[in-house]
Structure 1
Amino acid sequence: MVQYILRRLAIGVILAALVTFLTYWLLSFSSDGVAANILGPAATADSIQALKKDMGLDRPFIIQYFDWLGGVVRGDFGVSFFTSEAVVGAVVARLGVTLSIVLTALVISVVVAVALGVLAASRAGAIDRVTQSASLLGHLLPNLLIAIVLVVVLSINLRLLPATGFTPFSESPSKWAASITIPVIVLVINGIANIAAQVRGTMIGELQKDYVRTLRTRGVPTWSIVYRHALRNAAAPALVVLSLEFISMFGGALIIEQVFALPGFGSFAFNSSLQGDIPVIMGITVFSVMLVVSVNLVTDLINGWLNPKARIY
């Protein structure tokens, strides 16, 4: 297993190198825009060229890239062109905000979706139809529309929750919970729809298998068959959807954080892209790639633990 983990991590490093190479190459075409953004609207052509020379942006792309890559190997991701803030510290600080929202939404989605999916699969009828209808509705409603409706109802009309802003947990747990409630609800609605549909489908397949009928003939209680046997076997396919849902929620944070003015990873990436802050964009790219690789690796390991037949290590 250790060799498998090391091999997957090596593949992740190669993937990160390829992605960062392409990203840096694309960013190299916007060096004039970066210098102009730093100098402001009064910048002249001469001042832009002078700043590019001072920052080393006038050098060939390949030299710039390998200089940056050498710094990364040493643990130095550089500093922001606009704030002089260390890239690693800036990314980690914003990442904490996004993960607090995404992980909370994911846990709630899993608990509710598994319960609904199991009920819908084991009890055909009204519960199944309601679950399928709710799942379809969750797929159809865009996050932006849900966010706007919730802000109007909960923040503007009822004045129950803040519409924008973020309070760190260490500062006030209650205010932190209030500040992430609406963003979490937005992500949960779509998350439940995706996970519940997968759990329902896999559970229906498991409950129709021969081993379930054998357990029933032996008098094993229904709850034991459903939760101790069928659900465990159905967990592997659902786990893949769960990992994809985590990545989807993480990507969806870009819109959510912009709507609710949250100082998270998504809004940081968006603003840095608008400015052309190359060191920050590259740091965000590396963190994003490694996060996806790590999630996929953990998913494969858990999948192998749940189902030894599915082990690929």
Structure 2
Amino acid sequence: MARLILYRLLISVALVFAISLATFLLQAAAPGDIARTILGDHFSPEAYQRLHHELGLDDPILLQYWHWLTQAIQGDLGTSPISGLPVAGEIANRLPVTASLVICATIATAVGGVALGVLSAVRGGRVGRAVDVLSLIGYALPSFWLALTMVTLFSVTVELLPATGYVPLATSPAGWARSLVLPVTTLALPGIALFAKQTRDAMLEALSRDFVTALRANGIPERSIVFRHALRNASIPVVTLVGLTLVSLLSGTVFVEAVFAMPGLGGLAVQATSQHDIRMIQGVVVVFTLVVVTVNLVVDLAYGWLNPKVRAR
């Protein structure tokens, strides 16, 4: 197990470098210029050349990346030429918003999907078909339509939940929870259907195995068989799906943060891209990459806990 973790960490370090370099090169090749963005529509060639030189844009692309990398390794992500604020500080201010969305949506997706999947596998019949239909409806609904419909229903018509904005947890836990209900629901509903189907298939396979028959023959309660034995055996593919869902929700937050006017990393990345703020983009990409690396490592550790064969390798 230790060898597997070390191997994953080495790959993760290389992955961070590769993605940061690819992002830097792609952003440098994109149309536009941060110097022009700063100066606006009316500027003299002399002013443009002076600012272009001050920003280090005269240097070769790989040299610019090297300057950024040497600072990033020391924990300094630089300063945004647009806002004049430290990149790390801007990311730290917006990270709780995106983290709240992603973590809460992942938990809601996993809990709701697993519950529906187990219910569908155990009950079967009409209950199973009803769960399947409801899950597929949730998966088929377009996210933009779902978001706008919920805003219209729960914010405009009923006036029960806020339509936009974010309340920090430290300011008001109740306000924080209310501000997350609609965006988290928008993110979670499509994934619940996928979780329900995956859990149902894995549970049906686990319940059909010989050890389940032996447990029933020995008089073990059905609830214990389902939740203690079958669900644990069916949980490995579900754990994989949890990791994939959390990673995919990082991109989903861009849309949700825009619709619900939430100041998260998704909106920061879009704004930085439109302004050609490569230092801010690099900082956001590095944070997202570190999140993906951490999630993959946690999934590997969960494999080891659920499957003793992985620990023996």
TM range (shorter): over 0.9
Identity %: 41
Q: Determine if contact 1:31/1:52 at 8 Å carries over to the other structure.
A: no
* 1:270-297 Cα shifts (integer Å, max 9, x gaps): 1111111111101111111111111011
> Take 1:309 and 1:247, find their aligned partners in 2: how far apart are those partners?
26
Secondary structure of 1:228's partner? helix
Residue in 1 that maps onto 2:264: 264
Q: Which amino acid aligns with 1:40?
A: G
Q: Deviations over 1:165-219 (max 9, x none)?
A: 1111111222212211110111121221121111111001101111111111111
Give 1:294-305 correspondences, 5 Å limit. Answer: 294-305=294-305
Task: Give yes or no for the alignment of 1:97 onto 2:97.
Answer: yes
Query: How far, CA to CA, are the matches of 2:287 and 2:293 in structure 1?
Result: 10
Unpaired segments ≥5 residues, structure 2: none
Q: How does 1:132-211 map to 2 (within 5 A)?
A: 132-211=132-211
1:71 matched residue in structure 2: 71
What CA distance in whole angstroms lies between the structure 1 residues aligned with 2:32 and 2:229?
62
CA 142–44 in structure 1, closer or farther in 2 if over 3 Å, else same: farther
Spell out, residue by residue over 1:230-276, the C-alpha distance to the aligned partner (whole angstroms, 9 max, x if none): 00010111100111111112210010000011001111111111111
CA RMSD of aligned residues (A): 1.5
Q: Does structure 1 conserve the Cα–Cα contact (< 8 Å) formed by 2:32 and 2:276?
A: no
Structure-1-length-normalised TM-score: 0.96
For residue 92 of structure 1, report the CA deviation from its aligned partner: 2.2
Q: Give the TM-score of the pair, scaled to structure 2.
A: 0.96
| Aligned counterparts of 1:308 and 1:266: Cα–Cα separation in 2 | 38
The answer as to whether partners of 1:80 and 1:277 remain within 8 angstroms in 2 is yes
Distance in 2 separating the partners of 1:178 and 1:47: 49
Q: Residue 23 of structure 1 aligns to which amino acid in structure 2?
A: T
Partner in structure 2 of residue 34 of structure 1: 34
- Contact 2:139/2:192 (<8 A) preserved: no
CA contact (8 A) 1:117 1:199 kept: yes
User: What is the deviation of 1:31?
Assistant: 8.1
Q: Which residue of 2 aligns with 1:55?
A: 55
User: Aligned partner of 1:231: which letter?
Assistant: L
Partner of 2:308: 308
Amino acid across the alignment from 2:98: T
Q: 2:149 and 2:254 mapped to 1: Cα distance?
A: 18
Name the CA distance, whole Å, in 2 between partners of 1:252 and 1:29.
Answer: 25
Extract unaligned runs of 5+ from structure 1: none
SS of the equivalent of 1:159 reads coil
Q: Is the CA contact (8 Å cut-off) linking 1:101 and 1:184 kept in structure 2?
A: yes
When structure 1 is superposed on structure 2, of 57-66 and 301-310 the one drifting more is 301-310
Structure 2 residue aligned with 1:236? 236
1:30 Cα offset (Å): 4.7
Contact 1:77-1:86 within 8 A present in 2 as well: yes
Question: Any idea what SS the aligned residue of 2:5 has?
Answer: helix
Displacement after TM superposition at 1:48 (Å): 2.1
- What letter matches 2:200 in structure 1? R
CA 1:191–1:312 in structure 2 vs 1: closer, same or farther (change >3 Å)? farther
2:227 corresponds to: 227
Report how far residue 309 of structure 1 moved: 2.3
Secondary structure class of the residue paired with 1:212: helix
Distance in 1 of aligned mates of 2:285 and 2:114: 33
Q: CA deviation at 1:312?
A: 7.4
